[in-house]
Amino acid sequence: MTRYSCPALLVTAPASDSGKTTVVAAMARYWRNRGKRVRVFKTGPDFIDPIFHEVASGQPAYQLDLGMMGEAACRRHLAAAAAEADLILIEGVMGMFDGRSSSADLASLFGVPAMAVIPAAKMAQTFGAIACGLAHYREDVTLFGVVANKVGSAGHALMLEESLPEEIAFCGWLPRDESLALPDRHLGLVQARELPDLDAWLDAAAAKLGESCNMPLPEPVLFEPVPEDPVLKMVGRPLTGRTIAVADDAAFAFIYRDNLALLTRLGAELVHFSPLTDELPQCHALYLPGGYPELHGPALTANTLLMQQIRDFADAGHPVVAECGGMLYLLEHLTDKWGEGTEMLGVLPGSAQMQSRLQGIGMLSAEIQGFTLRGHCFHYSSSEIQLEPIATATQPGRVKVAEPVYQLGGVVASYVHWYFPSAPALVANWFLGEHP
């Protein structure tokens, strides 16, 4: 099989909140504005950051997560991107060496050099010491260069650059400027679709980064193609002729692109709609992904026609797959963190309450119908649902997280954001409405 060559960088940092998303988006827009085709990936099960990268690059952005996806799926994505791109950027997660399947682990496994974003406010030559530490902590990881963030002035930037050894490239700097900070909320950054001036912001950030240096890039990396998952060939196209309505708007936007690609690969036709404004499209099944229903309660309940259509759809036994926020939408009642309650669909018996602290986070897996389905949870609500779970998604390791999986008629619901390609036959059964 043909091997594909493409320059690639894994953008990392000493810690979270260092500015990785801003720098990756700015780099993607910088090179796109110069006619380059840029493909961006996000390490970990993140839904929000990839949309910024899609807007910045003009290309789809996928996750790369060894625990959730497996090595083969990650390699398929990288090889496919290298076959068509001029540059691959991978945004890391947390600090460079933090956690299981860390950014450094990915960089080592796939032979991709790293570039670290180092916040440099109130720092001088120590900037170089941090860069050296990141470069030499592990021999199997190459630190190509660094970007300085939150820099006070051009003179400050020069001081930081001079602190670096020759083998670590200075890849630019961004100033300490509140206009470059992306707004956030309880589940991460405010979504890209909610920022009307995002394109102007991206162009400004790209210009500032590009003005700061000549934007060096490493030598190309060779990526080996990986054949299609043999399990997919065995499953075939059982969803041929079926239409799946996918909720997709500011209230329900936490969707893995791989999930949509799998449903299409299984033969389904996907129709996107907004629960905030639309009616339910003609469909055989409904997919309600996670999101922020707690921020859009009045608008969701104002769409009374859709709410009744979904109730009737579920009552008729049609397949509905709901994840996290999608599950909250199906409950009888949702209370926000200020104590204001909203009547939801009432498809599932139970209620949920938003909390001020995180209630569940982690990678999980569940055994359902003889299949192992993997996914991730990250939620601030607690719920009481009057159903016996059909399974429990659990987490290995020291931090134990467990999330029930509920089924009522054709409805399957959980706090877990499932990674559908981990069990394609089970997912096909769900959307066909085939339950034991």
* Domain ranges for the chain: 4-223, 230-432
CA 231 to chain CA mean position, Å: 24
Residue matched to tokens 């769900």: 430
**pLDDT score, position 44:** 85
Q: Is the pLDDT of residue 13 over 50?
A: yes
* Structure confidence at residue 185 (pLDDT): 44
Can you tell me the distance from the alpha carbon of 334 to that of 355, in angstroms, rounded to the nearest whole number?
11
Helix, strand, or coil (residue 214):
coil
In this predicted structure, the answer to whether residue 108 has a pLDDT above a threshold of 80 is: yes
Q: What are phi and psi of 171, to 5 degrees?
A: -105, 20
What is the distance, to the nearest Å, from the Cα of residue 390 to the centroid of all Cα atoms in its chain? 27
Q: What's residue 261's pLDDT?
A: 96
Same fold, 4-223 and 230-432: yes
Rounded to 10 degrees, what is the CA torsion of 342, 348, 350, 356? -60
Among residues 53, 60, 63, the alpha carbon closest in space to that of 28 is found at 53
State both tokens at 123: 């720092």
Burial classification of residue 121, based on how many CB atoms lie within 10 Å of its CB (0-12 exposed, 13-18 middle, 19 or more buried)? exposed
pLDDT for res 180 = 67
Which helix (H) or strand (E) segment holds residue 377: the answer is strand 371-379
Per residue in 319-347, pLDDT (tens digit) is 999 999 999 999 999 998 888 889 999 99
Give the pLDDT band (50/70/90) at residue 162.
very high
Cα 227 to Cα 222: distance, rounded to the nearest angstrom: 16
How much of the chain, in percent, has pLDDT values that exceed 70?
Answer: 94
Please determine, for residue 78, whether its predicted confidence score (pLDDT) is greater than 60. Answer: yes
The residue with greater pLDDT, 101 or 204, is 204
- Residue of 364, 363, 358, 347 lying closest to 405 (CA atoms): 364
Q: In whole angstroms, how large is the CA radius of gyration of the chain?
A: 22
Mean pLDDT (the chain) is: 92
For domain 230-432, the CATH superfamily is Class I glutamine amidotransferase (GATase) domain (3.40.50.880)
Q: What are phi and psi of 277, to 5 degrees?
A: -135, -20
The first and second tokens of residue 248, run together, are 């997709």
Q: What pLDDT score does 358 carry?
A: 79
Q: Which residues contact 203 (CB under 8 A, 6 or more apart)?
A: 29, 33
Positions marked active-site: 324
pTM of the model: 0.92
Q: Look at residues 330, 253, 327, 335 and name the one whose alpha carbon lies nearest to residue 291.
A: 253
> In sequence order, what are the beta bridge partners of 254?
290
Return the pLDDT at 52: 85
Q: What is the mean pLDDT of residues 235-243?
A: 97
Percent of the chain beyond pLDDT 90? Answer: 79
Q: What is the pLDDT of residue 195?
A: 64
Tokens of 397: 């390791």
Digit-coded pLDDT (tens) for 259-291: 999 999 999 999 999 999 999 999 999 999 999
Inter-CA distances, 195 with 189, 218, 255, 367, Å:
11, 33, 19, 39
Polymer length of the chain: 436
Q: Is the pLDDT of residue 436 over 80?
A: no
Q: pLDDT tens for residues 137-154? A: 999 999 999 999 999 999
Question: For the structural domain made of 4-223, what CATH number should be given?
Answer: 3.40.50.300
Mean of pLDDT values over 147-171: 96
